[in-house]
Structure 1
Amino acid sequence: MFEIAKLRRFVMCGLLGLILTGVVSCLKSPTQAPQLEFWTMELQPKFNDYFKDAIGKFEAANPSIKVHWVDIPWGAMQGKIQAAMGAKTAPDVVNLNPDFAIQLAARNAWLNLDPVLTKGENKEYLPSIWQAGTLDGKAFSLPWYLTTNVTIYNQELFTKAGVPKPPTTYQELAQVAKQIKEKTGKYAFFTTFVPEDSNDVLESMIQMGAQLTDKQGKAAFNTPAGKAAFQYWVDLYKQGLLPKEALTQGHKQGIQLYQAGETAMLSAGAPFINSIAQNAPQIAKVSAVAPQITGQTGKKGVAVMNLVVPRTTKMPDAAVKFALFITNATNQLAFAQASDTLPSNIKAVADYKTKLESGDDKSALDRGKLISAEQLSQSEILIPPLKNLDVLKKAIYENLQAAMSGEKTVEQAVTDAATTWDAGK
C-alpha cells in the first residue's frame, strides 16, 4: 500500500512538472528570428557605423531575419572559409575576391544564382565585372566594391622635361621615360619585377595584347605578342630607364622614390593621394592625376570584391536577399563614398560620378576618384583566375629578369617561362 502511494505521488509530481513546463513555455517570448551570418574581410572597425546602419535597415524591412556580422582579417579569410565549409559551419553570405571565389566555384561550393535572380538583377551591374563572377556561364557571385589604379604624376618634373602631358599607353611611356631621364636625370617610373610583390607586369602583358594561358591552362604567351611584351621591359631596363632595384625591391620602393621626387609617376589608387599629402607634402603640391596607362588593347585593370552564398546555407532565399540589398545602388553608393572605393552597380556608378562632377573646386583626390570612375567602362579583371598563379608569376618574372640582366635572350626567356609553367602547373 505504501509503495502504491509513493508511485501515485511520483506520477502526480511528474504530471505537475509537465504542466508547469507547458505554462512556462507559453510564457516565453516568441521564437527568435533565424540568424543569417555575414562574413567580410577586414572592414572593422572603420566601417562599423556603415554596417550597423545598413544591417539595421535590412532587418527593419525583413523582421523575420536577423543578421550577425563577422569580420575576418584579410590574410585569414581563405583558411577560415575552407575550414568552415569542411566542417559544414559556413556562413550564409561571404565577402571574397574573384581569384579565390572562382577556385571554390569550380568545386561547386557556391549557390548558383541564375535560378534565383529572376528579375534581371544581373543587368544592374557593370557587364565586365559581372562576368568575373561567372563560371561556365553560371553566376556564382554578386559584384560589390571595386578599386582601379590611376597615374599620379609630378607636374614639376614633367615641365622640366618638356613633357606636356602624362602618357596614356606603354608606347608613349617609353618615349616619356627617355625624355625625363635625359632632361632631369630622374626616372619616369618604377615597376617591380619581384614575383611575390605585384601582378603589374603580368597585367601589362595582357594590356599589350598577350594571352597568359589557353583554355586548357597551358602557356599561351610564347607568341609574337608575348615576346614583344618581354622585349619592351628588357629594352627599358637595358637603356637605363628603370631603376636597378626594380629587380630586387617591391612596390614600396616605388612609393618611396615618388615621394622623394626621384620618379615622375606612380600607379596607385586615387585615395593614395592623401597618403602622399601626409608623407611628402611638397610632392603632393605638384602632383596631379591622369588615367591608368594601358597598351594597344585599351584594357585597364580593376580589383573586385564580391559576395557569394555557400550552397550549404539553410537560408538561401534570405541570403540572396541580403546580398542583393548590400550590393544595390543605394548601399553601393553609400559604401563607395565612405570607403573611397568604387561601386560596381551601374546606377551607383552614374550617381557617384554625378556627385564628383558637381562643384567647381575639386580636390586632387576628387579628380582622381572621378578619373577612376570614368575608366570603369574599360576596366576588367586582367589576369584570369588560376589555381597556381604564383607559379606562373615566378616563371615569367624570373625569366624576364634573366633577359633583363643579359643572361638569356628574350626568345629563350619566353620559351623557358612557358616550359616551366606547363611542366609545373
Structure 2
Amino acid sequence: MNIRPLAGPVALMATLALCVTACGSTDDPANADGAAKVTVWIMKDSVTDDFLTRFRTDFEATHKGTTLDIQIQEWDGIGEKVTAALASKDAPDVIEVGNTQVAQYAASGGVRDLSAKVAELNGADWLPGLAEPGKVDGKQFGIPWYAANRVVIYHKELFAKAGITAPPKTRAEWLTVTAKLDEGSTQGIYLPGQNWYTLSGFIWEDGGDLAVRNGTQWKGALDTPQALAGMDFYRQLQALGKGPKDSDEAKPPQADVFAKGDVAQIIAVPGGAKIVEEANPALTGKLGFFPIPGKTADKPGAVFTGGSDLIVPEASAHPDAAYEVVKALAGEKWQTEMARTMSYVPNRTSLAHVIQDDEGTAAMAAGAAQGRATPNSPQWAAVEATNPIKQYMTAVLTGTDPARAAKDASESITKTLGS
C-alpha cells in the first residue's frame, strides 16, 4: 500500500516537478544492454525534488553512459496507467508502486521476476511487512523501497496532568492509561469507528488475519476467534473517546480534531503531528510518540506497513540498467539518505539506527519490525473498493452481534477474492 491511503500523508512535501532527460554515450561496460536513457516513474510527493536531483547526479556519475529520465506520476488514476504500461511494448524501465499493488500487477504477467537478485539486494534484512507484498507465488516481483506505519501521537501536557509519566508498553496498560485520561472534557483517545488499518494490526497481534489462503483459494477470516479478539480490543479502546462509529479518520480529519487540544491520543503516521501543529501552533513541542503497544511489553504490537516497492516491467528496453537503478535506490546509501530526508523507515531492519534521533520516526521504526501487509491477492484492491471491513466495524460498535457481523463480512471478502 502506498502512503497516500494512510490517514494523512507521511510528509507533505512541495510538489515535485522533475523530469530529467539527458544524452550520453553507451560505452558503460556495466550495462550489458547498452542503455542510454532509463525512464523511471516516481509517484508525486514520495520524495523531494532535491533528493531525486542528488540521486540522478550520483547515479549518472557512477554509471557512465546511462542517463535518467525521471517522470513524476499522479496517484489519481495510476492503477490504470501502470496496467496499460505493463501491457504495452513501450513501458518505462522502473516504476514505483504501492507495496500492496504488486500482486495485482504481477498477475498481468508484465512484471519482471527479480527473485535471483534478492540475495544481492540483502533481502534477508528487509522489513517483512514491506517485502512480503512484493513476493507472489514464491517469486519476488517488487523490491521494497520505503515504509511507514502508524504510531500513537499523544498530548504530553494531558498525560502529565493525569499523572502519567511514561507511555504504556502493553495493551492492558494502554487501556488503563486511556481510561484515566478519558475524564471531564478530555477524550482519552480519538479513534474513529472505521479505522480498519488500525484494526488490522490488532487482529494480527491476536493471531488472526483479514483473509487466509488455502491452495489457490482465498477466504475471509474476520470470523475466527483470533480476529474477533482483535475487534473486541478495538471496541474497548474506541469507547474511551468520542470518535464517530460510522466514519474513518478522514471524516472529519482527525488531525483537526486533535488540534483542538482536548484529545489525549490519536493513531496516525508521525507526519500527522506536523499537520496538527500547523492547525494549532500552540501545540508545537507538546506532542510525543510511542509505538502501538502489543500484548506483552517485550515488543510493540503488530501494525499495517504502508509504503512503496520498485518494479521492472518485462517490456523494459533496458532491464540491466533498470535493475541498477533499483539496486541503488534500495541500497544502504540511498536508503539512509531517504530516511533522513523524508523521515521514512528504511527497507532494512539493520538501518533503523539512522533515524533514532527523531522521536516520531524512531517510534515508527520500532513498530515497523512488527509490520504486516494486507492479503497478497490480486483481488484485494477490489475488497478495499467496497470495504466490508468498515461496515463490519460500524455494525459491531453499534451493537450488532460481533460473530454474525464478522461472518457476513468474511463471506463478502471471500466472494470478492474469488471473483
Length-normalised TM-score, structure 1: 0.79
**Change over 3 Å in CA distance of 1:293–1:272 after alignment to 2:** same
Tell me, in whole angstroms, the C-alpha distance in 2 between the residues paired with 1:128 and 1:199.
Answer: 13
User: 1:90 Cα shift?
Assistant: 1.4
Q: Secondary structure at the match of 1:222?
A: coil
Cα deviation, residue 319, structure 1: 0.8
Assess, with a 3 A threshold, how the Cα gap between structure 1 residues 188 and 102 changes in structure 2: closer, same or farther: same
Distance in 2, Cα, partners of 1:383 & 1:210: 12
2:360 to 343, 364, 368: 368
Distance, in Å, in 1 between the alignment partners of 2:245 and 2:393 is 12
Q: Distance in 2 between matches of 1:89 and 1:287?
A: 48
Tell me how far apart the structure 2 counterparts of residues 120 and 390 of structure 1 sit (CA, whole Å).
32
* Matched letter for residue 64 of structure 1: G
The range that moved more, 122-131 or 259-268, is 122-131
Take 1:351 and 1:285, find their aligned partners in 2: how far apart are those partners? 22
The alignment-based identity, stated in percent, is 22
Q: CA RMSD in A?
A: 2.8
1:328–1:424 Cα change, 3 Å = closer
Corresponding position of 1:388 = 380
1:410 match: 402
- 1:38 Cα shift? 0.4
CA contact (8 A) 1:190 1:246 kept: no
Letter of the aligned partner of 1:314 in structure 2? A
User: Which one has a larger percent helix, Structure 1 or Structure 2?
Assistant: 1
Deviation at 1:276, TM superposition (A): 2.8
The answer to whether 1:322 aligns with 2:325 is yes
Map 1:53-64 onto structure 2 (within 5 A): 53-64=54-65
Tell which has more relative contact order, 1 or 2 (C-alpha 8 A, sep 6+): 2
Q: Which residue identity is paired with 1:243?
A: K
Matched, 1:419 2:418: no
Unaligned runs of 5+ in 2: 1-23, 27-33
Letter of the 1:417 counterpart: A
Deviations 1:371-420 (A, max 9, x none): 323443x23234223423553673232133223222x2222212222233
Conservation of the 8 A alpha-carbon contact between 2:259 and 2:280: yes
Q: Does 1:283 align with 2:283?
A: yes
| 1:9-408 equivalences in 2 (<5 Å) | 34-43=36-45, 47-116=48-117, 119=120, 121-123=122-124, 125-126=126-127, 129-181=130-182, 183-194=183-194, 199-215=197-213, 216-235=217-236, 240-243=239-242, 245-248=244-247, 250-251=249-250, 252-295=252-295, 298-346=301-349, 348-353=351-356, 356=357, 366-376=358-368, 378-386=369-377, 387-389=379-381, 391=383, 394-406=387-399, 408=400
Distance (Å, rounded) in 1 between the aligned partners of 2:173 and 2:382:
30
The 1:156–1:390 alpha-carbon spacing in structure 2 relative to 1, beyond 3 Å, is: farther
* Secondary structure of the structure 2 residue equivalent to 1:144: strand
Higher-Rg structure is 1
Q: CA offset at residue 99 of structure 1?
A: 1.1
Counterpart of 2:39 in structure 1: which amino acid? E
Q: Look up the equivalent residue of 1:103 and give its one-letter code.
A: Q
Q: Is the 8 A contact 1:161 1:184 kept in 2?
A: no
What does the per-residue CA deviation read over 1:73-121, in whole Å, with 9 as the maximum and x for residues that have no partner?
Answer: 1223212111222332210101111211221113332111123456464
Q: 1:234–1:336: structure 2 CA closer, same or farther, 3 Å change rule?
A: closer
Distance 1:208 1:283, change over 3 A: farther
* Structure-2 change in CA distance of 1:233 and 1:341 (3 Å): closer
What secondary structure is seen at the aligned counterpart in 2 of 1:275?
helix
Q: 1:146 to 1:248 in 2, by over 3 A?
A: closer
d(CA) in 1 for partners of 2:288 and 2:231? 30
Tell me by how many angstroms 1:147 deviates.
1.4
Contact 1:329-1:347 at 8 Å conserved across structures? no
SS in 2 for 1:242: coil
Corresponding residue of 1:4: none
Tell whether the 8 Å contact from 1:191 to 1:200 is kept in structure 2 after alignment. Answer: no
In 2, distance between residues paired with 1:334 and 1:35? 24
How many residue pairs are counted as aligned between the two chains?
A: 378
Amino acid at match of 1:167: P
Structure 1 residue ranges without an equivalent (≥5): 1-28, 357-365
Q: SS at 1:317's partner residue?
A: helix
Question: Which whole-Å deviations, capped at 9, do the CAs of 1:4-56 have from their partners, x for residues lacking one?
Answer: xxxxxxxxxxxxxxxxxxxxxxxxx9779621110010048x72222122112
Tell me how far 1:321 sits from its aligned partner.
1.1
TM-score w.r.t. the length of structure 2 is 0.81
How far is the alpha carbon of 1:140 from its aligned partner?
1.1
